[in-house]
Chain A
Amino acid sequence: MTLPIITPASTPYEHLGKDAPLGKKLAASLSTRIGRAAVIVVCLLWTVPTFGLLVSSFRPENDIKTTGWWTFFTHPAVTLQNYRDVLSSSGGNADNFGKYFLNTVRITLPATFIPIVIAALAAYALAWMSFKGRDWVFVGVVALMVVPIQMAMVPLLRLLNLGGHLTISGHTYTIFPNLDINSSVVSVWIAHTCFALPLAIFLLKNFIQALPKDLIEAARIDGASHLTVFLKVVLPLAVPALASLAIFQFLWVWNDFLVGKVFGPSDLKPMTWKLNDLVGSKGQDWQRLTAGAFVSMIVPLGVFFSLQRYFVRGLTAGAVKG
């Protein structure tokens, strides 16, 4: 799970050895240089759209709608009005992004924490508790990674919305309570938890199973209960895997649009929903789109820059998010 150590740059034709002919060396050096220049160009091109949006978000409305963001460098004019506009909560035309920002926080924190706790518990059971059918349960979990969200979305929404009822010979039994999703964010948490679990259990089980066997067995022989072993031995050792998974899940939920749109009560929709709504209703208010997009991107970008290493680890390990 550790990242490769990056070694200092070597000269491009070093590998050809001392005895290679000069012409070959030069040709190899030239092609390497062209390749590297191309990479730099591609990487810069990749940044241009985001950079353009960032610059735009600080330009006055009239400037945004009449000139390209690159004109900023010849005719600089800076304003915070766009941000004030999208964040404002008063007036009929208010976008109130602050509220949606908080909605996203309200959705994201539990929807990150809960699946990881459940997955860690399950991973421990699958790795270190012995019971019948253990391997089959694990195979079943892995198989569920194949189910796309679209496949489960409609029936799950129905279940959370209306509850589960079973009618047998005239009697109706409630097997699942009606969670009244129109007023509660719980259904969004549940949906995110369900969709996150297969991958999370898969990754954590593999990690926890690889922990030293002696350590866990010794603790068990000393009379420690499963809960004690889990809390005092396994969890501390699994911190790197848990951290990667948490960052991965956090970004996934923060940036999610579909689950929030379908499961979120109208008053508790996430920021991505508001942003998309803005495209539809105020698509020509470019200045609002720029600022709104950046407000929604601030947290993911912060996480990205400060925790990139763990994020990379999470991505590298979790190549199959269902």
Chain B
Amino acid sequence: MGDLVATFGTALAGIAIFLLVLLGIYFVTGFLPGRSKERGRVAVFLGPAVLFLLIGLLIPAIRTIFLSLYTNKGDALDVNKYVGLSNYRKIFGDKATRMVLLNNLWWVILGTGFSVGVGLAVARIADQMKGERVWKSLIFLPTAISMVGAGIIWRFVYNKSPDPAHEFGLLNAVVTKVGASPRIWLLQQQNYVPGAPHLNTVLLIVIFIWIQAGFCTTVLSAAVKGVPDSLKEAASIDGATDLQAFRKVTIPYIMPTIVAVSTTTIIAVLKVFDIIQSTTGGNFNTDVLANEMYDKTYPQNQPGYGAALAVIIFAVVVPVVIVNLRSQRRAREIA
């Protein structure tokens, strides 16, 4: 009980102090003469946001770029030896890190492709179906769960019991039922098709798809319902089948939404960290950029190397966001 009071006490005190400071400054600006008063008011409204963005995002991001050019050994808080692009060279030259980059590529391709694909299929088929809301909520549910929680949920699916007579992992139970032998799924590093990603990476991507597909379904479903009936009717009068109408009318109409959902998903994929941490920890060749960045920076204490990995994530995200903003602007111009 005391804990609870302390908890809400801390929370409320934090909020109250914050509001009081703002009000105080606003009150003080009231005494300023004429135009400075107006400027003071702008500062009160805009100041906190600008301050937080500067100290929390802009300056740190620039610092990270510099950090990536410095020594990759030493104290995380004290870097001083300039090494040029050698961190980047190491990233692209090292076989283990190339594996990480390749894994990330598969995450982007499979994770985004399937999340958006499932989302689009469910959004279309479930449209105007009986109990649509219920079905969509089921697929949407994992969105509300933390990725760490999702990792644990799926550990139960992929688990292999030490005692084969007592298999309690869902996947192994199914596999045993059809006559195959159970495996330790997250250790499966083989790829059955040459060039394809390792099986364990695919299984981790499945977790991501499980989380993300609901988001895609929800947003795409809203878009599908926004297609004017007159367009669909016109297509059907012209003799188009359902599928043709979907491909030729609905998809082009909701294209900006598809682009937006895809870019959001790509950004989410690039930052996948929690799923890896709560399942394999990046071992068994399942590592990805965001996890490697964390591991290198903190446990392995190579902040320069970690910063270079962060810059690479940033470099991939930028064009994706630009494509998204362009597509949205174009859509607005047409509308």
Contacts and interface: CB of A to CB of B under 8 A. Distances in A.
Interface of A: 3-4, 6-10, 15-17, 28, 31-32, 35-36, 38-40, 42-44, 46-50, 52-53, 56, 64-70, 98-99, 102-103, 105-106, 109-110, 113-114, 117-119, 121-122, 124-126, 129, 131, 137, 140-142, 144-156, 158-159, 161-162, 164, 176, 185-186, 189-191, 193-195, 197-198, 201, 225-227, 230, 251, 254-258, 262, 272, 275-276, 279-280, 286, 289-290, 292-293, 296-297, 300-301, 303-304, 308, 311-312, 315-316, 319-322
B252 interface: no
Closest 9 CB pairs of A and B: A194-B56, A255-B146, A122-B49, A155-B60, A125-B45, A304-B144, A152-B60, A4-B225, A155-B63
B7 interface: yes
Interface string B88-129: 000000000000000000000000000000100110011011
Interface string B292-335: 01100110000100110111011001100100110000000000
Nearest to B303: A154
Interface of B: 3-4, 7-8, 10-11, 14-15, 18-19, 22, 26, 38-39, 41-42, 44-46, 48-50, 52-53, 55-61, 63-64, 67, 76-77, 118, 121-122, 125-126, 128-130, 132-133, 135-149, 151-157, 159, 161, 163, 166-170, 173, 210, 213-215, 218-219, 222, 225-226, 232-233, 236-237, 241-242, 260-261, 263-264, 267, 270-271, 273-274, 277-278, 281, 290, 293-294, 297-298, 303, 306-307, 309-311, 313-314, 317-318, 321, 324-325
B67 A276 contact: no
Given A99-B3, A156-B55, A119 B242 contact: no
> Looking at A38, A153, A296, which has the most chain B CB atoms within 10 Å of its CB?
A153
Given A154-B306, A193-B56, A254-B146, A46 B313 contact: no
Contacts of A154: 60, 64, 67, 76, 297, 303, 306-307, 310
Nearest to A192: B56
B291 to A, nearest CB: 10
A159 B8 CA distance: 27
B55 A56 contact: no
Contacts of B10: 106, 185
Nearest to B237: A17
Given A106-B11, A147-B61, A255 B56 contact: no
A53 B310 CA distance: 35
19 contacts: A4-B222, A6-B132, A31-B242, A42-B139, A43-B135, A46-B142, A49-B153, A53-B153, A110-B15, A122-B45, A141-B49, A150-B313, A152-B56, A153-B60, A154-B64, A191-B56, A289-B152, A315-B219, A319-B263
A303 B144 contact: yes
Contact of B67 (A8, A99, A155): A155
A99 B53 CA distance: 32
Contact of B15 (A113, A129, A227, A300): A113
A15 B242 contact: yes
Contacts, number: 343
Chain A facing B: main interface SS: helix
A110 B14 contact: yes
Contact of B14 (A10, A118, A189): A189
Contacts of A304: 140-141, 143-144
B236 A289 contact: no
Contact of A316 (B15, B154, B222): B222
A176 B156 contact: no
A190 to B, nearest CB: 7
B290 to A, nearest CB: 6
A201 B125 contact: no
Given A275-B149, A320-B321, A148 B60 contact: no
Contacts of A276: 148, 151, 274, 277-278
A296 B218 CA distance: 24
A154 B236 CA distance: 57
Contacts of A142: 325
Contacts of B311: 151
Given A50-B141, A52-B156, A316-B219, A151 B45 contact: no
Given A15-B232, A320-B321, A150 B138 contact: no
A47 B129 contact: no
B56 A102 contact: no
Given A144-B57, A156-B56, A186-B14, A315 B321 contact: no
Nearest to B224: A4
Given A43-B135, A67-B168, A176 B55 contact: yes
Contacts of B121: 39
B49 A121 contact: yes
B139 A194 contact: no
B310 A148 contact: yes
A65 B152 contact: no
B303 A36 contact: no
Contacts of A280: 281
Contacts of B144: 251, 255, 297, 300-301, 303-304, 311
> Looking at A32, A39, A129, A289, which has the most chain B CB atoms within 10 Å of its CB?
A39
Nearest to A47: B138
